[in-house]
A and B are shown apart, each in its own frame.
Chain A
Amino acid sequence: MSAESHAIQQAAAEFIRDRHLLGAFVTGLLRDVHAAEDVLQEVWVLLSAELEKGTVIQNQAAWCRGVARNLIRRHWEKRQMAKVVADSEALDAFMNRVEQCFAWADSQEHFATARLAALDECVASLPERSRRLLSLKYTQRAAMERIADETGQSFEAVKKALIRLRAALLECVRRKLSQEEWNP
């Protein structure tokens, strides 16, 4: 196996390991899951191309976030998302602070895996009806109107229910993380 191939395999394993945080970084900034998937794919392509050239990347997670940030900005500019890019100074400051948040998370052992394990338990403890609602919103990515239609609730009721469910899940995850079992 060539040195480049080995580097790409190592990078692939690391990319998989870091996928949750990188996914959160990109999805959180973009607020569009389809665009986020495109950016993640492009980050991987650029990373593997860089490694094939023999480039040594010291901090892969930070490198990926840097590339993702540029791609996200390009996406915003292409879509002329005026509200987001209008005040570039405020936006730069925000993105710098977000980068600091994720760099800190990188340094924490089990940061994402502990939260996701807790999230699994929290999701499992929800009533079937709530899981169905979340599934329509997050898995099937159904429009609010369709969710309202399928669940027989009003648009406003669905919106409030989803906000409450999301808050309840966050609270549940935080509560579980405070227990010793998630902080080995």
Chain B
Amino acid sequence: MTTDELLQRWSDGSITADELRELTAKLAEPEHQNALLDDWLLESSLPDRLPGASVASLTEAMRTTRRLKAAELPQTSMSARWLSWRPLALAAAAVVVLGLTWWMLGQTKDDAAAIVTVLFAEDCQWKKPNVICEGERLVPQMLSLAKGMAVVRFDGGAEMLLRGETELELQSATQAKLLRGDVIVRAEGDAAGFKLDTPSASLLDLGTEFAVKVNGGAATELRVSEGEVAYAHGGVTKTLQAGKAVRLERSKAPKSITGDAPRFDQLVREANPRERADLMIVHEGFQYDEGSYAPSSITKGKGWAGPWRLRSEQEMIGRSRPDTTTAMRIVQGLPILPWRMNRGGIGMLEMPTGVCVRIRPMTLPLEMNRDGITYFSMITQEPQRPSPASRENQESVRLTFRSSADFASDFLSFGYGPNQKPYISGASFGNTQSLSPIPDGQSLLWIGKIIRRAEGDDEISFRIYGQDEALDYAEPKTWHVNSRSVRMKAALDLLVLSSTGNAPRMVDEIRIGSTWRSVVPISSLRAFKP
């Protein structure tokens, strides 16, 4: 029997003891040793080298192990273990939370699960077949940028800025391969361990920011801005410190080069991310004079198919209680909001004590059976804080999307209840609640993200910002709630505001759009103020 045949029998588990002895004897010869090494190397490496591969690499395995171990170990020893890995130490509690959140977010159902979020992609030209949109979640694939600047975030936490003509293969939540072009990687703290392959080297982030350029001749230029990077080149592994740069070419020794690395934040700042009101498809700013109005007379705004209204009898579902009042009261003179809004007036809708439910139809429904991304935002205030006793019983505020064709059957709801913890709920997937309560007695900015998929799971995310929390030019790494394994098909064309309890609430600036920057008050961005 030939060596290849014996190896095949070993591989399919059919080898006998005699055949195993025969194979062992053959392996004394270099020729057969090579056959085994080639065969096994092919077997283990092929999954990573085929188009669209997302099989966990060894780096990923190392990181996964750290996540698993983090989940198993008591907090104190786990922190020590994590910190021993990271030059940029996070607070122990933050490591616990981020680590566990990341572990939970990192769970995927199959190899085609999304691994990257597009944070910024303005004025980009992509080579076909890519058409990349901000907010989009990307599965393992080749990204071919022809022109412009884009920023993506890997689920492992690393952020990458691509500029100019760039070809990048997204491989896993913690790994990519740069075939051509210019990127800057920022993988600090929890994101350390990100791996970037190039045609001539393998780069391993050790908690840092670095720039990589791969030219047409496949030479790699590595420039480290902060921390350090390990690089494997020509069978040798070395580390490069901040302020150093090296050129790596196949079959040549590494060569030190000069020149400062471009900085991630500086380039983003120069790109000047700005508010995209043009992508806002629904807006309600309650820009009316102070007073009480019939809901049918509240008709201003953008993207609505009609005025506000009360629930009909058919819409009084379950144990619904009737509205305490039937008017819509606009109030003014409340404290100035911490977020600077480009808005025409200072009115807000008061949701009075008792039960208050108001509905408004949208022109464009959220079609959950079609691919798309929708963000929404809304501001709420509680001028009089509900008593703790009241909170325990009935305090609740929600923004819900429902279908006029079938009001009761399916919905998507965002809110918080008596325990002040943000949640997402839906008829088809139940209730997912945050572990953290929202800050008390503050103006709150609600932001939700809905990734709709014709095939596969929808992804729903929700976060409530307190007035002291910084907003960024792009969506956050972590949300209060992420609900996955959601499969909805309804066309949700109604926006329903509801509030119950013993304290009034103010609602303002309801925005719905297709990107983060179309709904977030970007003029508040602290990081990019002039």
Which residues of A are at the interface with B, using a C-beta cutoff of 8 A? Answer: 1-2, 4-5, 8-9, 12-17, 19-28, 31, 33, 36-37, 40-42, 44-45, 52, 83-84, 86-87, 90-91, 93-94, 97-98, 100-102, 104-105, 109-113, 115-117, 119-120, 123, 131, 134-135, 138-141, 163, 166-167, 169-170, 173-174, 184
Interface residue stretch chosen among B55-63, B99-107, B281-289, B453-461: B55-63
- Which residues on the A side are within 8 Å of B17 (C-beta)? 86-87, 90
A13, A52, A102, A139: the one within 8 Å of B230 (CB): A13
Of the candidates A19, A22, A36, the one having the most CB atoms from chain B within 10 angstroms of its own CB is A19
- Which residues on the B side are within 8 Å of A19 (C-beta)? 57-59
- Which residues on the A side are within 8 Å of B69 (C-beta)? 45
Q: Cβ of A119 and Cβ of B45 under 8 Å apart?
A: yes
Instruction: A12 to B20: give the CA distance in the assembly, Å.
Output: 35
Instruction: A115 to B50: give the CA distance in the assembly, Å.
Output: 15
29 A-B residue pairs with CB within 8 Å: A1-B87, A4-B84, A9-B206, A9-B230, A9-B239, A12-B62, A13-B237, A16-B202, A17-B232, A24-B37, A26-B44, A27-B44, A28-B40, A31-B10, A37-B61, A40-B58, A52-B84, A84-B13, A90-B20, A91-B20, A97-B24, A98-B36, A101-B36, A110-B235, A112-B41, A113-B235, A134-B46, A138-B46, A167-B4
Q: Cβ of A40 and Cβ of B235 under 8 Å apart?
A: no
Instruction: A113 to B232: give the CA distance in the assembly, Å.
Output: 10
Least CB distance from A17 to B in Å reads 4
Q: Is B251 an interface residue (CB 8 A)?
A: yes
Q: Cβ of B204 and Cβ of A16 under 8 Å apart?
A: yes
Given the interface contacts A12-B62, A16-B204, A83-B13, does A174 sit within 8 Å of B38 by beta carbon?
yes
Instruction: A68 to B263: give the CA distance in the assembly, Å.
Output: 42
Which A-chain residue is minimally distant from B32 (CB atoms)?
A101
Least CB distance from A139 to B in Å reads 5
Main secondary structure of the interface of B (DSSP, over half): helix
Least CB distance from A158 to B in Å reads 15
- Which residues on the B side are within 8 Å of A21 (C-beta)? 41
Instruction: A111 to B38: give the CA distance in the assembly, Å.
Output: 10
Contact residues of B between 81 and 98, Cβ < 8 Å to A: 81, 84-85, 87
Instruction: A2 to B53: give the CA distance in the assembly, Å.
Output: 37
Other than the known A33-B55, A117-B250, what 9 A-B pairs have Cβ atoms closer than 8 Å?
Answer: A15-B62, A24-B44, A28-B39, A37-B61, A41-B62, A135-B53, A139-B53, A140-B111, A174-B38
Q: Cβ of A16 and Cβ of B59 under 8 Å apart?
A: yes
- Which residues on the A side are within 8 Å of B235 (C-beta)? 17, 109-111, 113
Given the interface contacts A1-B87, A20-B45, A21-B41, does A135 sit within 8 Å of B52 by beta carbon?
yes
Given the interface contacts A13-B230, A19-B59, A134-B50, does A44 sit within 8 Å of B65 by beta carbon?
yes
Q: Cβ of B111 and Cβ of A139 under 8 Å apart?
A: yes
Instruction: A16 to B250: give the CA distance in the assembly, Å.
Output: 18
- Which residues on the A side are within 8 Å of B36 (C-beta)? 28, 98, 101
